[in-house]
Amino acid sequence: MTPAEAAVAELRGALPADRLIAGDADGLEPYGRDESDLGLFPPDAVVRVRTAEEVRTVFAVATRHRVPVVPIGARSGKSGGSLAVRGGIGVSLERMDRILEIRPEDLTARVEPGVITGRLQEAVEAHGLFYPPDPNSLDLCTLGGNVAENAGGPRALRYGVTREYVLGVTAVIPTGEILRLGRRTIKGVAGYDLTALLVGSEGTLGIVTEITLKLLPRPRHVGTALVVFGSVGDAARAVSRVLAQGVIPRCLELLDDVSLAAVARTAPGRFPAGAGALLLVETDGNDPDQVLGEIARVADLVSAEARGEVLVAQDEAQRREIWEIRKYLSVNLRAVHPLKLSEDVAVPRSAIPALVERAKAAGAGRGLAVATYGHAGDGNLHCNVLYDTPAERPAVDAAVAEILRAAVDLGGTITGEHGVGLAKRDFLEYEQGPEVLALERRIKAVFDPLGILNPGKIFPGG
Ligand SMILES: Cc1cc2nc3c(=O)[nH]c(=O)nc-3n(C[C@H](O)[C@H](O)[C@H](O)COP(=O)(O)OP(=O)(O)OC[C@H]3O[C@@H](n4cnc5c(N)ncnc54)[C@H](O)[C@@H]3O)c2cc1C
């Protein structure tokens, strides 16, 4: 018997029968993929846990047999974090999907980690409340996955990313301790901030089984506008001017010329001649005049660079139409080139034009087009290397490495939201020095002395 087989046999005796998927290749296969495009890595078994105690049981068995344990959310991850690269036991949180409480009087919610992000947003909005983090995958990803990746989204510019909303978590660590970290109050500075350490730890320090989240009152009005520019440089200058004048919209999304050309294919004549970049701007608040006033102020500030009029949505239908440009961008790019590898670097906002240029050059040198779009307001851009056949993949990988290097050279980071995971573990050294990496390895060893939790992730060389 292999160690994994022995562990599965023991788990069969220790947990209710409906928790375990084992010895069923078809049943395990979906748990071996995510949205990273890195391939198929199914675990030897999956346990669909219902409680923190069950997670503790999995760790105890895995420790006895020295087999890996891999936390699995909705598998929408783009860096391969949930892939069982060394086999072992997948711990799926999909059945821990209860919203435990929403407390309007405290502006907090307590949830299990398998709750789909969009479901929580709808539930709190029914109370007039607001959970701002809005990854574009919000209809499929889980809050546990968001905590593990410290997910962000278009609204991060004004409202920040997941970390800003996590007041506390319950996490089970490989040594078997169930840790209740953090608090339910807005303020609180007792002890080390271990909650913050768990957020963004990509499922390598512990498995989160409960999350306490901060909520806000829901802004009652939203204003949306679309601005066309001649070039990315013009759009980036406009972004800087808007922010420098103290206007912080909730979203400032950028599309470069390659992205715009892909969108324009389906709607010829929609954008003025010479359009080379586009900004999607959104503001919000409780007073409709103030919201529209802010949009007008943005329009005024960008007028020097803009081509043509600033288009302001007059109703919900027009708002949706503007957002559809962003929503279907991926599909439109794939219509031009069927394959693409999407990066999520972030740079200081002043470096956006340089990043777009260097990303284009990294592709052009290898005969590849690069489309850059994303959250320009916070400098977090998706550079998509476009290609047509798998044979081009080595050139694509080389272009990606050059883009990641460029982001770090420009004072930025290799990942603004998707995490390092498996995809970028060999690039972490671009950004972090040997002392930092050594300290991170020591921290990992405190939580996980045997290295059984999600091995092969984040650290260079696996
Ligand atoms: C179309 C699309 C759009 C996207 N847009 C965005 C975006 O705008 N912003 C953004 O930040 N990301 C985005 N993503 C990436 C992805 O959705 C996020 O990283 C999300 O947080 C992953 O959640 P998940 O539940 O799918 O986790 P998974 O992919 O299953 O896992 C991700 C990582 O979290 C760990 N993990 C999962 N649950 C737990 C838990 N309970 N405890 C400990 N570790 C756990 C896993 O081990 C893994 O390392 C997008 C993805 C897609 C496909």
User: What pLDDT score does 327 carry?
Assistant: 87
The pair of three-digit structure tokens given for residue 284, joined into one six-digit string: 């919000």
Domain boundary among 92, 127, 162: 92
What is the Cα–Cα distance from 11 to 20, expressed in whole angstroms?
A: 8
- Tens-digit pLDDT profile for residues 194-209: 999 999 999 999 999 9
> Strand pairing partners for 311?
226
Domain CATH code at residue 367: 3.30.70.2740
- Flag whether 212 is in a domain: yes
- Flag whether 460 is in a domain: no
- Flag whether 133 is in a domain: yes
- Flag whether 427 is in a domain: no
Write out the residue range of the structural domain in which residue 262 sits: 221-330
Average pLDDT, rounded, for the chain: 96
Identify the residue whose tokens are 């923190």: 52
Q: Note whether 272 and 363 are same-domain residues.
A: no
The pair of three-digit structure tokens given for residue 336, joined into one six-digit string: 């031009």
User: What pLDDT score does 462 carry?
Assistant: 74
Q: Note whether 69 and 106 are same-domain residues.
A: no
The pair of three-digit structure tokens given for residue 211, joined into one six-digit string: 């999350």
Structurally, the chain folds into a number of domains equal to 4
- Flag whether 462 is in a domain: no
Domain CATH code at residue 193: 3.30.465.10
Position 308 confidence tier, pLDDT thresholds 50, 70, 90: confident
- Tens-digit pLDDT profile for residues 43-58: 999 999 999 999 999 9
- Flag whether 449 is in a domain: no
For 176, residues 6+ apart whose C-beta sits below 8 A from its C-beta are 56, 59, 60, 63
Q: What are phi and psi of 55, to 5 degrees?
A: -65, -40
Q: Is the pLDDT of residue 270 over 90?
A: no
- What is the whole-number distance in angstroms between the Cα of residue 398 and the centre of ligand 1? 25
What is the Cα–Cα distance from 206 to 45, expressed in whole angstroms?
A: 19
Q: Note whether 238 and 311 are same-domain residues.
A: yes
Counting atoms of ligand 1 from 1, which one is nearest the CA of 203? Answer: 44
- Flag whether 382 is in a domain: yes
221, HSE (Cβ side, Cα atoms, 13 Å):
15
Q: Note whether 88 and 151 are same-domain residues.
A: no
Q: Is the pLDDT of residue 380 over 90?
A: yes
Domain CATH code at residue 321: 3.30.70.2190
User: What pLDDT score does 269 carry?
Assistant: 76
- Flag whether 247 is in a domain: yes
What is the Cα–Cα distance from 48 to 94, expressed in whole angstroms?
A: 7
Q: Note whether 153 and 193 are same-domain residues.
A: yes
Position 120 confidence tier, pLDDT thresholds 50, 70, 90: very high
Nearest to 342 by CA among 282, 278, 416: 416
Out of 37, 50, 75, 137, mutate this one to test ligand 1's pocket (max ligand atoms within 8 Å of CB): namely: 137
Q: Is 330 in the pocket of ligand 1 (CB under 6 A)?
A: no
Query: Could you tell me the CA-to-CA distances from 305 to 26, 124, 301, 376 in Å, in that order?
Result: 55, 39, 9, 16
Which pTM does this prediction carry? Answer: 0.96
The pair of three-digit structure tokens given for residue 338, joined into one six-digit string: 């069927």
Nearest to 46 by CA among 79, 87, 96: 87
Position 417 confidence tier, pLDDT thresholds 50, 70, 90: very high
What is the Cα–Cα distance from 327 to 331, expressed in whole angstroms?
A: 8
